[in-house]
Amino acid sequence: MNNPVVERDVVASAAAGPAVLEAHGLSYAHAGVGTVFEGVSLSIRRREIVALLGSSGCGKSTLLRVLAGLAQPASGEVRFLGEPLAEPHPRSALVFQQASLLPWLKLADNVGFGLDFAHQPKAARAALQGRVAAAIEAVGLAGREAAWPAQLSGGMAQRAALARALAREPELLFADEPFSALDAITRAEMQALLVDVVHRWHSAVLLVTHDIDEAILVADRIVLMGGRPGHLVQAWAVDIPHPREDFPEAVTALRLSILGALRHAS
Ligand SMILES: Nc1ncnc2c1ncn2[C@@H]1O[C@H](COP(=O)(O)OP(=O)(O)O)[C@@H](O)[C@H]1O
Ligand SMILES: [Mg+2]
């Protein structure tokens, strides 16, 4: 059993596979609030799960919005699959704390929402329907296709939101505190589900979280954000097999290392 390796550089190591996302020298300022973060460089490899960890208000959500193409940085550049990013990329998908399902659409139509069925030839429509069905099945909601959002529990709604993201077959899934509103048991189920489905879908993930244990249980790499203005403080490659609950000593060692860095960052 290897111990988690502590990386010195917060940018992904050069030895790894091709990057799905590369960001260099990012800064962002809100009018009136000033600089939210600066000097942020980060790359995410194909199929890699990166947790962006930091305390509330340190700028994680703002950074995620910039990396996803939802907001423009004051300086620096984001590249998605090698191309400069000016708006959300069709091969990316987003999941937020609230599932944001459309209440007037049944579950299957929510999952398929945005896939543009109307403008496709018949064969392509059938393929899209297959993608929707596979995504619903993967998140454990098969049989609930005709349910209305109001009939779903919080956990089921978040499963549907995850299925909606998977149906886009994303190269990169952006997830901003997706499980924070769930109870602890449902959250643990969803964390395991996330790891399982993104491995099956071959997607990379940027998971924003303030929960150290969530980051440790899910991520291949943890990037710690902190300071005012926010910046990336330290990163850890997490070399612990799944399910990580089976390796409590390695998990504890990593948690202590992160807690130590947090003390120095604040
Ligand atoms: N729309 C906005 N207008 C002005 N300030 C904002 C806005 N959104 C966030 N901020 C400020 O930017 C900082 C970072 O916020 P945020 O990215 O939401 O942090 P986190 O996600 O880490 O909790 C905070 O100080 C917050 O008050
Ligand atoms: Mg946030």
Is there an atom of ligand 1 within 6 Å of 54 CB?
A: yes
> How sure is the predictor about 14, in pLDDT bands with cuts at 50, 70 and 90?
very low
Is there an atom of ligand 1 within 6 Å of 60 CB?
A: yes
The reply to whether 153 falls in a domain is no
Range of the domain at 218: 5-91+170-265
The reply to whether 121 falls in a domain is no
> How sure is the predictor about 117, in pLDDT bands with cuts at 50, 70 and 90?
confident
Gyration radius (Cα) of the chain, Å: 19
The pLDDT of residue 67 is above 50: yes
> How sure is the predictor about 266, in pLDDT bands with cuts at 50, 70 and 90?
low
Q: Which structure tokens are listed for 133? A: 């069905």
The pLDDT of residue 116 is above 80: no
Pairing of strands 75-80, 172-176: unpaired
Q: What is the pTM of this model?
A: 0.92
The reply to whether 151 falls in a domain is no
Q: Which atom of ligand 1 is nearest to the CA of 56?
A: 23
The reply to whether 148 falls in a domain is no
Is there an atom of ligand 1 within 6 Å of 209 CB?
A: no
Ligand 2 centroid vs 223 CA: distance in angstroms? 15
Number of domains in the chain: 1
* CATH code: domain of residue 250: 3.40.50.300
What are the residues whose beta carbons fall under 8 Å from the beta carbon of 253, sequence distance 6 or more?
3, 4
The reply to whether 128 falls in a domain is no
The pLDDT of residue 1 is above 70: no
Interval 98-125 mean pLDDT: 89
How many helices (H) and strands (E) would you count in the chain?
7, 11
Taking alpha carbons only, the member of 213, 207, 168, 212 closest to residue 188 is 213
Computed over every residue of the chain, the mean pLDDT equals 92
Taking alpha carbons only, the member of 161, 174, 176 closest to residue 205 is 174
Whole-number Å distance between alpha carbons of 172 and 183: 26
Ligand 2 centroid vs 56 CA: distance in angstroms? 7
Ligand 2 centroid vs 61 CA: distance in angstroms? 4
Whole-number Å distance between alpha carbons of 235 and 12: 9
The closest ligand to the CA of 230 turns out to be 1
Ligand 2 centroid vs 22 CA: distance in angstroms? 21
Q: Which structure tokens are listed for 261? A: 């860095």
List for the chain the helix, strand, coil content (%; round to 5): 35, 25, 40
> How sure is the predictor about 9, in pLDDT bands with cuts at 50, 70 and 90?
very low
Q: Which structure tokens are listed for 203? A: 């997607």
State which of 26, 30, 177 you would mutate to test the pocket of ligand 1, scoring each by most atoms of that ligand within 8 A of its C-beta: 30
The reply to whether 235 falls in a domain is yes
How does pLDDT run across 168-202, given as a tens digit for each residue? Answer: 999 999 999 999 999 999 999 999 999 999 999 99
The reply to whether 253 falls in a domain is yes
Ligand 1 centroid vs 59 CA: distance in angstroms? 6
CB-side neighbour CA atoms (13 Å) of 54? 29
The pLDDT of residue 16 is above 70: no
Taking alpha carbons only, the member of 50, 1, 61 closest to residue 21 is 50
Taking alpha carbons only, the member of 163, 138, 137 closest to residue 149 is 163
